[in-house]
């Protein structure tokens, strides 16, 4: 049965070395999964000031990709991760899916991203052990400009996030009454099984709130990790992401 693992990585913004080390430790407990999925801008945290983008941006084949690819080969698992990509057109908020042999299988550039980022325009998909897999990053899930480009035949949608509450970070009431249900409704509108994973900020007043969920194509929450937690969520599908699955 194909297995996915979602890692709501606890992230110190602007500390990529420490964040990657934390991920490497977690990944070595998840090596039997076919695909390990990390949040948006996985190792830098969500940065948006131009000087920060200039400092942390890398080309697609830069050191972060090479380290993730080496770890994927070592553990025999695919990895989906995000980085600040330096492109000829500027900076992109990019998600890459790396295969079990360390090969680059998919590159997605976030569409609903303001300056100084350069927004993407395409929504590709790639064949993985979990079926035809696509990506929408964070706010793209709620943006028609992005969702209308999701290819027909997508069986599993990855939704990496660095979404934050303003104010109290572990706002359980807001999570239960607003956010959780809104994610499920957005997935149901697309009619594609989705794996949603959010970062957990280690510091700051506006904090990404962690947690992960598997949502069926009908908007049913099939499995979730605790809100405010960096606990990885492992999930096994019965046959394909269209099926019911089990933890």
Two structure tokens written together for 231: 């606990």
Ranges of residues in the chain with a pLDDT under 50 are 205, 243-247
**158, 185, 208 from 179: Cα distances, Å:** 17, 10, 12
**Would you state the pLDDT for residue 164?**
77
Q: Which domains does the chain have, with CATH numbers?
A: 3-236 (3.60.110.10)
List of residues 6+ apart from 180 with CB closer than 8 A:
213, 221, 227
Give the H/E segment covering residue 23: helix 16-27
Q: What are residue 195's DSSP bridge partners? A: 158, 214
Angle (deg, nearest 10), helices 16-27 and 63-75: 10
Residue 151 near residue 179 (C-beta atoms within 8 A) = no
| 98-142 pLDDT, tens digit each | 999 999 999 999 999 999 999 999 999 999 999 999 999 999 999
The alpha-helical segments, DSSP class H, found in 48-179 are: 50-56, 63-75, 144-147, 172-174
CA distance 2 to 33: 7
What is the predicted pLDDT for the residue at 238?
Answer: 79
Residue 115: the pLDDT is 94
- Residue 129 buriedness (CB in 10 A; 0-12 / 13-18 / 19+): middle
Question: Whose structure tokens read 């809104």?
Answer: 182
pTM over 0.85: yes
């Amino acid at each position: 049965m194909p297995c996915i693992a979602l890692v709501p990585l606890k992230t110190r913004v602007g500390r990529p070395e420490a964040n990657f080390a934390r991920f490497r430790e977690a990944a070595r407990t998840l090596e039997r999964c076919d695909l390990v999925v990390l949040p948006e801008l996985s190792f830098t945290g969500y940065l948006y000031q131009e000087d920060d983008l200039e400092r942390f941006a890398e080309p697609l084949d830069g050191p972060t990709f090479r380290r993730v690819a080496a770890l994927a080969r070592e553990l025999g698992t695919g990895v989906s991760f995000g980085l600040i990509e330096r492109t000829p057109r500027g900076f992109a908020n990019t998600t890459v899916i790396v295969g079990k042999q360390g090969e680059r299988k998919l590159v997605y550039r976030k569409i609903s991203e303001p300056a100084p980022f350069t927004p993407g325009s395409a929504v590709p998909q790639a064949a993985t052990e979990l079926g035809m897999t696509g990506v929408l990053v964070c706010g793209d899930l709620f943006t028609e400009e992005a969702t209308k480009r999701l290819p027909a035949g997508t069986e599993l949608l990855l939704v990496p996030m660095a979404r934050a509450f303003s104010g109290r970070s572990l706002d359980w009431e807001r999570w239960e009454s607003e956010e959780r249900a809104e994610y499920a409704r957005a997935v149901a509108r697309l009619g594609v099984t989705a794996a949603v994973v959010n970062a957990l900020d280690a510091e700051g007043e506006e904090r990404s709130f962690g947690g992960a969920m598997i949502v069926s194509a009908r908007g049913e929450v099939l499995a979730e990790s605790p809100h405010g937690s960096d606990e990885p969520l492992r999930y096994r599908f019965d046959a394909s992401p269209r099926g019911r699955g089990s933890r």
